[in-house]
Amino acid sequence: MTQLDKFNLFDDAVRECPFKYLQTIREESPVYFMKELGAYYVSRYEDLRYVKKHPEIFSNDTYTYGSSRGGQARNIAEEYRAQNGWKRVSTLQRTDPPVHSMYRALINDAFTVSRVRKMTDYVETCVNELIDQFIYRGECDFVSEFSIPLPCTVIADQLGVPRERIADLKRWSDAMLAPGGGFVDEAAAVECARQVVEAQKFFASVMDERRLEPKDDIITDLVRTQVTDKHGVTRPLDMFELQDLLDQLLTGGNETTTNAIGSGMMLLLQRPGTIERMQNDPKLIRNFIEESLRYETPVLHLWRATTQDTELGGVKIPKGSSLALGYASANRDEAVFPDGESFDIERRKAGAHLAFGSGPHHCPGAALARQEMFSAFTILFKRLKNIRLADPADSFAHVPSSFLRGLKSLNLKFEVAERARYSPSASAY
């Protein structure tokens, strides 16, 4: 028995803290067939970068090239969705260039760095409004009252969905992701799928409204756009494509940022005095954000499939195999990040992490996520003081998932440092 045989990603203790498992993989078998995932786990930074640079061998089109994965719960959810709503198709995810490039071009303008910079005042207003709702109580559940509603509010506004539907957006987003996380039974998978179909019907009604009455939002842009397919035919997006794009914009626009903000606060609370350091020296906040993304990567891994027999890290991998690209492991690779298992807000080159991926599939919302995090922590550190755990014995329990890492809750206490809303100068990320 090797050390790796002692671990299983679906064991509760390992799921809660997978990093010792990932470190052991890097040390003992950097390209490791992880039985519980049915996939080759790519654990090291340079191997992962190699995979990302060679989509002709390691395809994102896992439906075409990959072996069956995801388990019975995911399959049940997909079947329900196909029968009662619009089945999943491949658009941004599960495609390679040039198909991916065609879909990516449709949303790039919404998330450019220059556009996000123009959104700075708006994001800061959203942050202040959320803090206003709990600041005078001296306590809050940071997850449910801040790290969830901030990115949900921003993506709702960008899509063109009324803010009173934010709770629905979060519920639908969770339902879209849960079956693939490996911790729902068949009954729960059906309920998740029912909620996804509910979301699809809601978005279909919004699309109908935008066709009749266009607005300045992403849904209007998508229903009015034209694409040219590989046969040279120009056409509008069909409903299957529209639903898949909105699925990805919704989940990508809120889930990872929620997890990143919550994890960032957790890391600070685990290290007394760190918040005060950044309150005294706000220039550290940007590097703290990059280091927290590296150290507590919101998406543990994503998938690829081999288009041919190949070899990686000295391991032969057959055609049609699934690969799990271990972002959370690569981000602690000591060959790139010395003392990678330590958290250091002054770490040099912390921004070299792969939390947002790299190459053609680099997260389109990365700039917006960074701005939301920067505005959030900058304003929180200005308006609150003595931020601490409501329960010093808090165990920092995470939502059960094999590939996402986010806290269930984070109950805080604090005092008011500044009552008035705060807008930091020159605060664009």
Q: Per residue in 190-200, pLDDT tens?
A: 999 999 999 99
Residue 129 in domain: yes
Verify cis geometry, omega within 30 degrees of 0, for the bond prior to 30: no
How many angstroms separate the first and last alpha carbons of the chain? 48
Beta-bridge partners for 226: 236
Task: State residue 327's pLDDT score.
Answer: 98
| Dist. CA 107–CA 110, nearest whole Å | 6
Sole residue written with tokens 């009252």: 145
Instruction: Outline where DSSP puts E strands in 43-120.
Output: 58-59
Phi/psi for 304 (5° steps) reads: -140, 170
Count CB neighbours of 185 within 10 A.
Answer: 11
Residue 17: inside a domain, yes or no? no
DSSP state of 67: P
Domain that holds residue 264: 48-53+69-296+349-416
At 423, is the secondary structure helix, strand, or coil?
coil
In a domain, 120, yes or no: yes
Burial class from Cβ neighbours inside 10 Å (0-12, 13-18, 19+) for residue 274 reads middle
Provide the token pair at 307.
Answer: 């288009």
Q: Has residue 256 been placed in a domain?
A: yes
Tokens of 24: 């052991």
Instruction: Establish if 429 belongs to a structural domain.
Output: no
Residue 278 in any domain: the answer is: yes
Q: In what order do the strands lie in the sheet with 384-389?
A: 139-141, 411-416, 384-389
- Give, as one character, the DSSP assignment of residue 146: I
- Amino acid identity of 300? L
On whether residue 302 sits in a domain, the answer given is no
Question: What is the model's pLDDT at position 19?
Answer: 98
Query: Is 273 inside any structural domain?
Result: yes
- Give the pLDDT score at 174: 95
Question: Is cis: bond before 400, omega within 30 of 0?
Answer: no
Cα separation of 354 and 12, whole Å? 25
- Kindly report the pTM of this predicted structure: 0.94
The domain tally of the chain equals 1
Distance in angstroms (rounded) separating the CA atoms of residues 161 and 175: 18
Alpha helices in 138-295 (DSSP H): 142, 149-159, 166-181, 186-212, 218-224, 239-269, 274-280, 285-295
The continuous run of DSSP H or E covering 40 comes out as strand 39-42
Half-sphere exposure of residue 393: CA atoms within 13 angstroms, side-chain side: 0
Q: Please list the ranges in the chain whose pLDDT falls under 70.
A: 1, 66-71, 425-427
Longest dimension (CA), the chain: 65
The pLDDT, as a whole number, for residue 67 is 58
CATH label of the domain that carries residue 163: 1.10.630.10
